[in-house]
Structure 1
């Protein structure tokens, strides 16, 4: 079931935040808005990589890239399986983008800083990419660490082993954690593990992303939906998170 993107939505049986002591955020399309023009650049770089690897024209490379994405979850995983590429070289190429379009987000930075407890980034991208983007947003110093695709042994979300590796690496109790993520399917396993889940959707459709990636989906594994992360943290999370436990 779908609903039009709203500012905030909470399911009747949603897990709250009063018990949370670890706050986990996806990076791409979660911590920055679509007008930052980060993901379109990365997506284009991936297409260029596929063009060069297979000697294809742009349209053919794009079609193959999307086939890989739907079959394997990420183009990187597909290229590692199909051609045994060097994942580090791929990530360096894909994330070689212009960061000048990313603006300082003081509201988001203040909200994340005020969250009580640990803050971590969990991304299918590289650590370097996450750190550069978070630094431009002005939020990097608020995070304890980044768990990237290399730390996940190049197994991407939504694979269960990736979340388990993340939880084990950082000693996180999923029953005391919340995850903020922009793709609904990436919240299935975290919710099953006991995490409170928040789906972050764009306020208006992003033409550079596929429809399923930005749908505000009402499903049992999604506790909350927001189209404004900073406002959601400020109005829906912080007042509850600051309450002392009984």
Structure 2
């Protein structure tokens, strides 16, 4: 994914951070490393939900879950369309996980705290999930608010309406904001809207995620790529703001 010794990559014509006054972060697989074992637990809970809903065995439920994910963007959206489920019940079930695997991240907390301006979380998960995870990381107090899937009317990223709804709800000027996200396709619309974009990828391949979800994609809609979020904020963002 990176050459030996690399941790950050910046495109030649990348947008910088000199004008940024609003910092927007995805939650899952962006604000915590794969070692935290958060997403595998959520993924397993979603599979279990599908098993119980349709009366399927594990392998069949997993296959159907992934079909839904690729067709609708999230399994939640698929089940709302296909089975008219209560989205709140689904989210409560999917996010009922063990948080003891998440540890404090003082370096990330210090870097986010030093960012000048507003800080917001934009997630396809629930507010409760975001607050639980960010709280365990020790970074929740640095964020002004969480824009979750319910605030998006259950329309997930990368749908354009979700970003527009987020920008409007919080009065964010996209040309003065930056978005940190772990899935490359979720940065296409934000970049088109004028946001500086940073793709956060794992340091090593995560066996619990699909290849496209963690690829260090070098495309025009991605200004920066890093496998060390705290280091990127300290090395690339904060010095530039102080200069």
C-alpha displacement of 1:242: 2.6
- Residue 212 (structure 2) aligns with: 212
The SS at the match of 2:51 is helix
Task: Structure 1: state its 5+ residue gaps.
Answer: none
- Residue 60 (structure 1) aligns with: 60
Q: TM-score, normalised by structure 1?
A: 0.97
Task: Structure 2: state its 5+ residue gaps.
Answer: none
The number of residue pairs the alignment matches comes to 242
Is this contact kept in 2: 1:3–1:218, CA < 8 A? no
C-alpha displacement of 1:3: 5.9
- Residue 71 (structure 2) aligns with: 71
- Residue 10 (structure 1) aligns with: 10
- Residue 171 (structure 1) aligns with: 171
- Residue 146 (structure 1) aligns with: 146
The SS at the match of 2:28 is coil
Q: Distance in 2 between matches of 1:29 and 1:115?
A: 20
- Residue 200 (structure 2) aligns with: 200
- Residue 186 (structure 2) aligns with: 186
Moved over 6 A (4+): none
- Residue 82 (structure 1) aligns with: 82
The SS at the match of 2:69 is helix
Q: Distance in 1 between matches of 2:237 and 2:85?
A: 42
C-alpha displacement of 1:241: 2.0
Backbone CA RMSD of aligned residues: 1.0
Q: Distance in 2 between matches of 1:66 and 1:215?
A: 18
Residues 67-88 of structure 1: CA deviation (Å, up to 9, x unaligned): 0000000000000000110000
Is this contact kept in 2: 1:7–1:226, CA < 8 A? yes
Q: Distance in 2 between matches of 1:74 and 1:89?
A: 15
Is this contact kept in 2: 1:3–1:217, CA < 8 A? no
Residues 164-222 of structure 1: CA deviation (Å, up to 9, x unaligned): 00000000000000000000000000000000000000010000000000000000000
- Residue 222 (structure 2) aligns with: 222
